[in-house]
Structures are given as C-alpha cells and as structure tokens.
Amino acid sequence: MRPSEYNSGMGLKPVLTPKHVRQVRKLADTVHLTPLIGAEGARRGAATLICVIRDEQQRLDSFLTHYRALGIEDFRFIDNGSVDDSVATLGAQPDCTVYAAPGPFSWQSKQAWIHALIQQHDPGGWYVVVDADEKLVYADCEQHALPDLIDRLEARGLMRIRALMVDLYPRGPLLAAEIHEPHCWFDPGGYLSRKKRHMPSFTGGPRYRAFQFKGQPLDPELTKFPLFKAAAGDIMSNPHHHYPYADNFASPCLLGVLHEKFSHEFRRRVNVALQEGQYWNDSAEYRAYSQALEKDPRLSLWTQNSQSYEDSSSLVANGLIEPVDWSDFA
C-alpha cells in the first residue's frame, strides 16, 4: 500500500484516486504505440528521453545536440501530426524512434501516451520527459553527464527529481525575434514558493510580471519532475507533477528546465493554440499572450534585472537550483 494513497490522519482509510489520474490511466490502457520510423530496439544508455512533438523541425538539431551532450542515447518521440520535416529528420537519426500519436491531442491524452510508452518500453527504467522547447540542466552538467547524476541520485535514494522551469527570452520585442537570435535572458529572482498537496509549487518569472488573465497576473506553474525512475503504480498524470504525490516532496530542486517558449515562432504557436483550444482551460494562457501582444506589439520581457544565461552556474549562483556533490568523481 502506498502511504500517499491513504489518509494518515484517519488510519488506513483509502483516499479516492483523483479524477485526472483516473482519466489518464483509463486513456493509457487503450494506447499501444507502434514505431513509425527509426531505431526501435534494445534500450541503450542510462535513461530514455520521451518527447511529444508537432512541427518541431527547426528545434530538433539544437534539442538533440543538447541531450546527446548530456549522455542521452535513446530518444523516443511521439509525433502528433507534424506536417513539416520533423519525422523525416528524426528518422534519419541512429538514436531516435518515432511513434505516431494514436488520436487527437489534449493534455490528458499527451500524458496517457507518455505513460503507455513507459509501460511498453521499460516500466522500471530512468526517463527524461521534456517538450521540444525544454532543455534540462543541472549543476556542472557541462562536465558531468546524466549517468553520473543518476548514480548520485540513486545513492541518495532519489527517484523523482524536482526541477524549476526557467523561461528564456530575447532582449528585444517578442514579435521581432529572429530565427537565429539567442534567447538567453532569464529572471534571476521574483519566484513565489508555496506548498500544495501535489508538490512544492513555484510560480512567478517573466510570464507572471508581463501577462494577465481576467485582470490577474498569469500564474504559471514552474515546478516539474522531468527526470525520474519509473515504478509500479506511479504515473506522470500531469505535466507538472506525478502521482502518488508523496514522492514529489522528497527531492530538492536539483534541475533547471530552460524553457525556450519565446522563440521567433511564438506568435504562430499562440494562434494555433487559440484555434484548437487544446491546452488547459481552453488555452487560457495563450489567450493572455494574445491579448498582451495585441495591446503592445513591441512587448519585451527583458528588464534591467534580467540576466544572461551562460551555463548551469547561472542558475546555481542565483539559488534557482541546488549544487550537486561531485566530490567522489575525478
């Protein structure tokens, strides 16, 4: 019996599994992912990366370069109807497998696809689950690959690792961003911490200070658990937390997720999200973006307090992620 599924204040009384968890599990039970193209075969490396994509061809080269440098050798992409060259690009890679998404996209179906792939591929393995605009970093990741970090985590008994999502943005107006412009600025402070029943919650950052929804600051959840070891009964039922919830409180914030949302394609992606209404609360977050950009087409997230992201030490120095003890590594 999982302690997190019982009410400790009232003895061993079962607590009803949350509705969203039941929905994702029910969807996952109907999913079987068949490789569309690529390198399906024996698992390689310390961790498998899973990423749901749609028309991400322009991001893939940078994405693969980053994660290969971390030591990822097994990439699993679930393609949700790309019409660009994403599938062809990945199919030509020796370490990538692509699956066709079995049905329309919603945040519940996305989580169901991920859970189904984990159960189908290796239900006890280590995973990195990220979006195509997210790059995982940790202290000294430039010198220590992911297998080294996983060794450290397992030695400490940590199997579900907490991250802070750090929004990156260009210095100039969002709508003037060029395809090759580096999006390397971030907010070094201004984050809000509070404990929720699901997890330690962090909000704030540039989206909080620059966008509003129904007269209130946009309050995006910035906590994620993108690195974890799968276990029986566990499910990544939400993009920001896993179930059962108790293990979400075990890990310090050792990871940063560099969020490259505000690229040259930002306006197009906002329009698609509004047209399809597939994201949380009928794409409410994207309506906030659209309203702000209509009000001020020159909107920039950069301020005098912004800092340039140089490497992982930029996050450690500002207390956004914790250092890793590498003392027993040469």
Which is nearest to 152 in space by CA: 162, 144, 164, 143? 144
pLDDT of residue 177: 76
Same domain, 281 and 252: yes
Same domain, 62 and 170: no
CA angle 263, 238, 195 (to 5 degrees): 95
Mean pLDDT, the chain, whole residue set: 89
CA angle 87, 235, 79 (to 5 degrees): 10
Euclidean distance between the first and the last CA atom of the chain, given in angstroms as a whole number:
41
For residue 96, is it within any domain?
Answer: yes
Picking from 101, 132, 163, the residue at the C-terminal end of a domain is 132
pLDDT of residue 11: 47
Same domain, 229 and 206: yes
For residue 74, is it within any domain?
Answer: yes
pLDDT of residue 207: 94
What does the block give as tokens for 54?
């749609």
Check: CB of residue 257 under 8 Å from CB of residue 316: no
Distance CA 117, CA 296 (A): 42
| Residue 105 phi, psi dihedral angles, 5° rounding | -85, 135
| Residue 129 phi, psi dihedral angles, 5° rounding | -120, 115
Question: Is residue 9 scored above 50 in pLDDT?
Answer: no
Give the pairing of strands 160-167 and 253-259: parallel
Question: Is residue 219 scored above 60 in pLDDT?
Answer: yes
pLDDT of residue 330: 45
Picking from 70, 104, 132, the residue at the C-terminal end of a domain is 132
Same domain, 256 and 210: yes
Which residue carries 């090759």 as its tokens? 180
What does the block give as tokens for 116?
């189904």
Question: How many residues in total does the chain contain?
Answer: 330
> Which of 59-73, 91-105, 224-238 is predicted with the least confidence, judged by mean pLDDT?
91-105
Same domain, 289 and 321: yes
Mean pLDDT of 99-103: 91
Q: Quick one: 326 exposed, middle or buried, by C-beta within 10 A (0-12, 13-18, 19+)?
A: middle
DSSP element (H, E) containing 310: none
DSSP state at residue 147: H
For residue 5, is it within any domain?
Answer: no
pLDDT in tens, 270-327: 877 777 766 655 677 888 888 899 999 999 999 999 999 999 999 999 999 999 999 8
pLDDT of residue 42: 58
Same domain, 166 and 264: yes
Sheet with 160-167: strands ordered across: 35-38, 96-100, 74-79, 48-53, 126-129, 223-229, 160-167, 253-259, 134-138
pLDDT in tens, 20-62: 999 999 999 999 898 998 876 656 678 999 999 999 999 999 9
pLDDT of residue 5: 42
Same domain, 176 and 140: yes
153 or 16: which carries more pLDDT confidence? 153
Check: CB of residue 159 under 8 Å from CB of residue 80: no
For residue 330, is it within any domain?
Answer: no
pLDDT of residue 2: 40
Q: Across the strands, what pairs with 202?
A: 193
Same domain, 226 and 303: yes
> Which of 6-10, 83-87, 154-158, 173-177 is predicted with the least confidence, judged by mean pLDDT?
6-10
219 or 111: which carries more pLDDT confidence? 111
| Residue 93 phi, psi dihedral angles, 5° rounding | -95, 140
Helix (H, G, I), strand (E, B) or coil at 56: coil
Distance CA 53, CA 66 (A): 17
pLDDT of residue 287: 85
Distance CA 23, CA 19 (A): 6
* Residue span of the structural domain in which 60 resides: 15-132
Same domain, 60 and 137: no
pLDDT of residue 281: 58
- Count of domains observed in the chain: 2
From residue 171, alpha-carbon distances to 95, 120, 198, 304 in Å are 35, 43, 35, 10
Which is nearest to 174 in space by CA: 203, 137, 211, 132? 211
pLDDT of residue 44: 66
pLDDT of residue 286: 82
